[in-house]
A and B are shown apart, each in its own frame.
Chain A
Amino acid sequence: MAEVVGAYFTSHVPAIGGAIHRGDQQTPYWKPFFDGFLRVHEWLAEVKPDVAVVFNNDHGLNFFLDCLPTFAVGAAHEYHNADEGWGLPLYKSFAGHPALSWHIIEQLVGDEFDPATCQKMKVDHALSIPFELAWPDVDAWPVKIVPVAINTVQHPLPSAKRCLALGRSIHRALASWQGDERIVVIGTGGLSHQLDGARAGFMNPEYDRFCLDNLASDPDALTHHSIHDIVRLSGTQGVEVLNWIAARGALGPTAREVHRNYHIPISNTAAATLLLDPV
């Protein structure tokens, strides 16, 4: 039987890709962030995943406003990065796991979710940067992926409660999957940040701590805030915490915190990294 071996969460700020590209990991600005990944590397070597279910949000690479799904599940054999328009390096491609993708889609629709299904799906820095951070020295990614994209761009966004329920439905799919894979769930983005408007530069360590303190033990606590509350508390792009909430649901009912790192600022963002084990 397949096993959900744990959950890995990290910010996916585009500037991280630039820092990796330049080799800036040990400079004073970046060291407090990158040092948080030494434990991630150890943990991944311990739990040895071979599949990753990755909750992330597209930033205008695969989806435009002509057709913007609330939830989209990738069901492709492979996933490619492409030019995002702002000078990022082109990232490595990913192998998909379409059989597991369709199993997840069957469970989601059976549980009365209505995701878009994508047999072609470009993946942007929100997916690639967490992998560059997790496996910095590989020629090819050691895991196959099932990407799950959540709309964090155009309101109305799905509620935190809905995202947690989506993740829990995916956990049921993983628990009934008959393969022998070792599955890691990944949530990317956040934490608090706001890029746009006169409040640009807003961050909120107090709300971020609330999220980090409750994610393992009481994820439902994060669902008591409306999307409007989350924007107010976390910033217009801080709503990417929805990816974390969904990933927490996919990990399973109970969890234990293994590792946490939190640092302000990385670019305009309060950056966080978290590892959870299933209990």
Chain B
Amino acid sequence: MADHDTLPIPGTTLFDGDAAAKGYALNALCYSFNDAANRQAFLDDEDAYCARFDLTPVQRKAVADRDVLGMIAAGGNIYYLAKLAGIFGLNVQDVGALQTGKTVAEFKQMLLDQGKDLAHG
């Protein structure tokens, strides 16, 4: 491993073994949302549904607060968290806005701006 491989990347959390171990219960909750019946059960009684997954208090609070950065800090992986976001009809621009403190319109404009100087093709 090169020395610079240990340097943090700003605004970025690598989902490594530590995160995967810490986040297992939270990610298991989100993975269960591949099943429509589980999505409905979550909507019907969020507390009761989350109680099945043995979340840490920090993870439960992050879910309750819809705090995406908090979920990531608690070991959530975005591919699984996206399934939770989907329950609320949120797409990756909505989730991007939540994480960057932008409005959704500002976040979308930031994406568009990155392409405006490209010669196409």
**A interface, CB within 8 angstroms of B:** 15, 32, 59-61, 64-65, 82-87, 153-156, 194-203, 205, 226-229, 231-232, 236-237, 260-265, 267-268, 270
Contact B83 A85 (CB under 8 A): yes
List 10 A-B pairs, minimum CB-CB distance, nearest first.
A264-B115, A199-B11, A86-B86, A198-B11, A85-B83, A196-B78, A228-B5, A265-B111, A200-B96, A155-B16
Contact B17 A155 (CB under 8 A): yes
Q: In the complex, A200→B107 CA distance in Å?
A: 9
Q: In the complex, A82→B36 CA distance in Å?
A: 11
Chain B 88-108 interface mask (CB, 8 Å, partner A; 1/0) = 010111011001100000010
Contact of B12 among A61, A64, A194 (CB under 8 A): A194
Known: A86-B83, A197-B72, A264-B118. A154 touches B16 (CB 8 A): yes
**B interface, CB within 8 angstroms of A:** 1-2, 4-7, 9-17, 20, 24, 27-28, 30-31, 33-36, 39, 68-69, 72, 77-83, 85-86, 89, 91-93, 95-96, 99-100, 107, 110-112, 114-115, 118, 120-121
Contact A264 B114 (CB under 8 A): yes
Contact A60 B12 (CB under 8 A): no
Known: A199-B10, A261-B121. A154 touches B115 (CB 8 A): no
Contact of B16 among A59, A156, A263 (CB under 8 A): A156
Chain A facing B: main interface SS = loop
Q: In the complex, A267→B52 CA distance in Å?
A: 34
Q: In the complex, A231→B30 CA distance in Å?
A: 24
Q: In the complex, A61→B86 CA distance in Å?
A: 14
Q: In the complex, A85→B34 CA distance in Å?
A: 4
Q: Write out the residue numbers on chain B whose beta carbons fall within 8 Å of the beta carbon of A268.
A: 92-93, 96, 111
Contact B96 A60 (CB under 8 A): no
The 22 sampled A-B contact pairs (Cβ below 8 Å) are A15-B91, A15-B92, A60-B31, A64-B27, A64-B31, A65-B20, A65-B24, A83-B34, A154-B16, A155-B14, A197-B13, A198-B11, A198-B99, A199-B11, A201-B107, A202-B11, A203-B111, A226-B1, A228-B4, A236-B12, A236-B13, A265-B114
Q: Write out the residue numbers on chain B whose beta carbons fall within 8 Å of the beta carbon of A87.
A: 86, 89
Contact of B5 among A65, A194, A226, A260 (CB under 8 A): A226
Q: In the complex, A154→B11 CA distance in Å?
A: 18
Contact of A231 among B14, B79, B107 (CB under 8 A): B14
